[in-house]
Amino acid sequence: MWAGRVDEGFVFGDLTEEVVQTLRGVPMLIESSDERVRSRLLPETCAEQQDEEHWREHAVPELERLFLSRATLVRRDLELLRKLPKSENYVLLVTHQHVNAWVAALNAARLALFALNDLTAEHMETEGFSGASAKQQEAIVRISLLAELQAVLLGDFEAPDDDGEPFFPDPVGDYD
């Protein structure tokens, strides 16, 4: 895999079928209804039950909508994956407007893989890898792969806007 900047954003090239399969899993992971994933992406936030209920009522629905809109955006971008002439591998374009959504979506997918495969902090260390099951090792490789893409895109992660533009606007229209 290689990555490069173009006028429109970032291009990731030479993506093998395995890498593409991992990327196609990103929106599905974000949308997972598995309790382990949901409790990590929408964690308990307040110690007091009354405060937690207030949080669940007022903050969580907006977060859920935002996550789903990111999943939709990533899925749409992945539909544009193309093979280069005379190549079996794919090329992905992530435009500047979509970078923030992609960075967060990749993080969510990495966290979901971690939760779904019952991984621990020790597994993520070099020494811990050998102690993981084959399925867990595959998940760790996918987590690392998505981190590579995330690290590239972080170079374009936006700083706060000087003009006071809201950071958390309408989630549905956020990245369109």
Partner 1 sequence: MKVHAATKEQTETETSAKTSLASPWNVIVHDDPVTLMGYVTKVFERVFGYSESKAHRLMMEVHKTGRSVVWTGAREQAEMYAQKLQSHHLLTTLEKVED
What residue ranges bind partner 1 (CB under 8 A)? Answer: 40-48, 51, 55, 58-59, 62-63, 66, 103-104, 107-108, 110-111, 114, 120-121, 124, 143, 147, 150-151, 154, 157-160, 167-168
Report, in Å, the least distance between residue 28 CB and partner 1. 16
Report, in Å, the least distance between residue 84 CB and partner 1. 29
- The residue among 12 and 70 lying less far from partner 1, judged by its C-beta, is 70
Q: Is 158 exposed, middle or buried (0-12, 13-18, 19+ CB in 10 A)?
A: exposed
Report, in Å, the least distance between residue 100 CB and partner 1. 9
Report, in Å, the least distance between residue 16 CB and partner 1. 23
With tokens 């935002």, the residue in question is 66
- The residue among 15 and 66 lying less far from partner 1, judged by its C-beta, is 66
- The residue among 42 and 81 lying less far from partner 1, judged by its C-beta, is 42
Residues 12 and 20: their CA atoms lie apart, in Å, by 11
- Residue type present at position 168: F
Residues 148 and 6: their CA atoms lie apart, in Å, by 18
Using CA atoms of 61, 66, 67, 70 in order, give the dihedral in degrees to the nearest 10: 160
